[in-house]
Amino acid sequence: MTDFTVPDSVTPIVAWRYWRLGGADGLLRSLTGRHQRWEPGQALRARCRFDDVDRTDWRYRMVSGFSVDPHPAPAEGCTCGLYAARSLGALRGQMLFGLNRMVVGQVSLWGKVIPGQHGYRAEFAYPDRLCVFEGVINRDPGVLDALSAYAVPVEIVGNRQGVFSPVLALTRAIRSIVR
């Protein structure tokens, strides 16, 4: 439970993001960043995406956002940090990799948070509310058990047979949350 304290004077920012469910344990994974696992009951802390590379390798100098000096994440002038979208609309603008084992939800961000055009890059993050698609639960009922480990509300988002519209389903889910 280290690092899982929110300073009293700082209200976490709540933003939106996607996760995918890990195959074996059903826990949340990032879609990028080597599918990093989000541990239940433990804040995820950002690491610079370039921490594990050989910074003297000249080829990295051509990578967008690369910074030669090691630094805590997120940093201005780099692209590191835990990403989340400012709104569901902004999140929808991102590419969906297929809805199989996809989770969408809200995430609390705190520590150092760098705002961007559509969202944020944060130092610390933890899920705040999760929405799982009905089809995912139907295929694997154990998913709800796995997600209960995060001790946050989990909503089941219905998907209509045949024509499944993720946007429509999400809009409905969001309405039920906002109410």
Write the single-letter amino acid at 24. Answer: A
Least distance CB 36 / Zn ion (angstroms): 15
Would you say how long the chain is, in residues?
Answer: 179
Determine contact, residues 44/126, Cβ cutoff 8 Å.
Answer: yes
With respect to Zn ion, which residue has the nearer C-beta, 15 or 75? 75
Contacts of 29 (CB under 8 A, 6+ apart): 19, 20, 21, 22, 35, 36, 37, 38
Least distance CB 161 / Zn ion (angstroms): 45
With respect to Zn ion, which residue has the nearer C-beta, 75 or 143? 75
Least distance CB 39 / Zn ion (angstroms): 22
With respect to Zn ion, which residue has the nearer C-beta, 75 or 99? 75
With respect to Zn ion, which residue has the nearer C-beta, 48 or 84? 48
With respect to Zn ion, which residue has the nearer C-beta, 78 or 109? 78
Least distance CB 121 / Zn ion (angstroms): 9
Residue 122 three-state SS: strand
Q: Measured between alpha carbons, how far is residue 177 from residues 61, 110, 153, 154, 158 in Å?
A: 44, 22, 10, 11, 14
H or E element at residue 88: helix 88-92
Least distance CB 51 / Zn ion (angstroms): 8
Q: Residue numbers of the site for Zn ion (CB under 5 A)? A: 48, 75, 78, 80
